[in-house]
Structure 1
Amino acid sequence: MATYTVRLLAKEPVAQGTMAFHLEKPAGFEFRAGQAFEVILPGGAEGEDGRHAFSIVSAPHEGELVFATRMRDSKFKRALGALPLGASLDIDGPFGSLILHKKAERPGVLIAGGIGITPFMSMLRSAAEQRREQILVLLYSNRRPEDTAFLAELQALARRHPGLRLMATMTDMAHSTQAWDGATGYIDSAFVRRALQGLAAPIFYVSGPPALVEAMRNALEQAGVDEDDVRSEEFFGY
């Protein structure tokens, strides 16, 4: 890994309580879709309050680096949210092994909870740009539509690319102010079985908080999925 100094170009809300941060892409920074970097804030290079790992939302072909996070009330998140446009910060990376397999004949089933969507955004944007002849199925769980980061972009990607199937579900529509005509409830073994209909020998990717990753691994096991075909990444402190 290497450390680069970059500028903050833009920041924007991508869901209720979730912000995306756009950074300039330094010369020589190369990564694979699904990888991450550490963000090191000015004056906070040491200790957990000064640096945090984030999956890269942008795809390798894009001209900027983007990450997104829930804006929780922590010292790091407060300092991150207060950064003015044009501010300098450091990134250290890339790293991570949650990378889409190369055998296009095997579908990929991506399972995300909440902000765990971030590495999959890079994968899906990259696959769309490359026009990969591979079936990718995204199972995406959130409490409400307003909490669902990148929902409109994912719906648009699914409309444009027949190889991408979006199966989003909401678990708390009773407290939503937005309409939703899709699935509701949690991703369980029955939900997984529906997603697997017509798929031959898929490989599974799970991303989200530790409790969700564990629950999804159990649901996949109950659905008859071989654990050797499951890859996962746990997000701490998001």
Structure 2
Amino acid sequence: MAKIELQDWPAPLENGGETVLETMIANGVPFPYSCASGDCGACKGRLLCGEVAHDSAPEGILSAAERADGYVLACRCAPKGDIRIAALDELVALPPARRQRGWVVAQQRRRGDVIVLQIRPQQPVEFLAGQFFYLKFDNLPQRAYSVASLPGSEELEFHIRVVPDGKTSGYAARDDLLGSEAMVDGPHGHGYWRQNHDGPIVAIAGGTGLAPMLSIIGAALREDARRHIHLYYAAREEADVYWEAELQALVRQYPNLQVTCSLSRAQAPAQGPLPRRYERVTESLRQDWPDLADAKLYVAGPPRMVEAVAAVARELSLAPRDLHTDPFSDSVDHALDGALRTWVRRWLARWRRPPVALPQAATQES
């Protein structure tokens, strides 16, 4: 049985053939992770000693250069013997997740087929800005939604895009939803706001990925109203911009907050109080930030967008520890319960993991 030694953790962990992340979770180690399936990069770590078998990962999540430097995804690698690994982020004990009843107390229909729900849980919930919850209505499948509320709020606000044939999102769009009961499970996720960083914040939201960005931005401004923040709202068309009035109100309140809408399929001109860019959000990022070395970058939205932003961020000198992601999809194909999707990926990985040896240059602790 292999042993995993984690830097800054007091005791080694025993591994019985499962992934490094599974071992961390089983032993109560607060190792950062989010999707647990290799699509976000939140569980990225650096192998300091030893060798692992590593499943393939998207280039935008784990580059060839990072692999050469000893970086791995904890959710996609298993030890081939005793190893020593370091987390890129601090090991923070997150608020405990709990499952409880809640009730829908407000519902709004917005542009872009978005439903905004406010749910009041039976007991107050402690969470960090940027985390997500699992919601379950009636006998429908459980789904994960990021919370837009600020920590300490009595109600939890969720932005839900209604998708074709979506059972849970279709239920959220019902006209008689007020007063309906929902099971609330959370909080979860490691894409939360890091309070120990005082540099600029760059937040990129794709679609309803705006929800966790609102929580992060609101919490950061509540702590320091003079903090420099640039939010990019990435959408396909003008009709997808569903939260403009509220964002404009924030800009008026905080002059140091800049908000840009990047519309990938629209053509100028378009009307709106917020500035428009008619390009992919990655191009907007390149133009505005030639160097991200001092920034924290938070990204939430479709996995492909998250991958593309991560790749550009590396080009702009962003350190791996300063990238925090929350990838998700509005499509039904990606709406499987996270646990099932993760299990399938892990089962397949057992059959196709190629061995990845630690480069000699990375065997010394840095």
- Same fold by TM-score greater than 0.5: yes
**Which residue identity does 1:124 align to in structure 2?**
I
* Structural mapping, 1:53-202, within 5 Å: 53-73=144-164, 74-82=166-174, 84-174=177-267, 179-180=271-272, 182-188=276-282, 190-196=283-289, 201-202=294-295
TM-aligned CA deviation for residue 80 of structure 1:
2.7
- Relative distance call for 1:199 and 1:219 in structure 2 (3 A) is closer
Please, which moves more after superposition, 71-80 or 198-207? Answer: 198-207
**5+ unaligned residues in a row in structure 2: which ranges?**
1-96, 332-366
* TM-score, structure 2 as length reference: 0.58
The answer to whether the 8 Å contact 1:208/1:233 transfers is yes
1:206 aligns to what?
Answer: 299
Q: Percent identity?
A: 25
Q: Which moved more, 1:207-216 or 1:9-18?
A: 9-18
**C-alpha distance in 2, partners of 1:131/1:203?**
15
Shift of 1:197: 6.4
Counterpart amino acid of 2:213? F
Q: Do the aligned residues in 2 keep the contact of 1:106 with 1:200 (CA within 8 Å)?
A: no
Q: 1:26 offset after TM fit, Å?
A: 3.2
User: Which letter maps to 2:143?
Assistant: H
Contact 2:292 2:316 in 1 (8 A): no
The answer to which of 216-225 and 148-157 deviates more is: 216-225
Q: Is the 8 A contact 1:104 1:134 kept in 2?
A: no
Q: Distance in 1 between matches of 2:225 and 2:266?
A: 34
SS state at 2:281 partner? coil
Structure 1 residue 217: Cα displacement: 1.2
Kept in 2: contact 1:136–1:164 (CA 8 A): yes
Unaligned runs of 5+ in 1: 45-49
RMSD: 2.3
Residue in 1 that maps onto 2:53? none
User: Does residue 109 of structure 2 align to residue 18 of structure 1?
Assistant: no
Cα offset, 1:66, TM superposition: 0.8
Distance 1:125 1:204 in 2: 15
How far has the Cα of 1:104 moved from its partner? 4.5
1:23 Cα shift?
1.0
2:106–2:178 Cα contact (<8 Å) kept? yes
Task: Give the SS at the match of 1:79.
Answer: helix
Amino acid in structure 1 at the alignment position of 2:234: S
One-letter code aligned to 1:146 = A
Structure 1 residues 152 and 168, CA gap change in structure 2 (3 angstroms): same
State the SS of the aligned residue for 1:16: helix
Distance in 2 (alpha carbons) for counterparts of 1:154 and 1:173: 20
Matched residues in 1 for 2:213 and 2:257: separation?
12
Aligned partners of 2:117 and 2:325: how far apart in 1? Answer: 24
Q: What letter is aligned with 1:147?
A: D
Separation in structure 1 between the aligned mates of residue 267 and residue 199 of structure 2, nearest angstrom: 38
Q: Secondary structure at the match of 2:173?
A: helix
Rounded Cα–Cα distance in structure 1 between residues aligned with 2:267 and 2:289: 28
Give the distance between the partners of 1:173 and 1:221, measured in 2 at CA: 28
Deviation at 1:201, TM superposition (A): 0.5
> What count of residue pairs does the alignment treat as equivalent?
231
Residues of 2 paired with 1:56 and 1:182: CA distance?
26
Q: 1:29 to 1:105 in 2, by over 3 A?
A: closer
Runs of at least 4 residues off by over 4 Å: 197-200
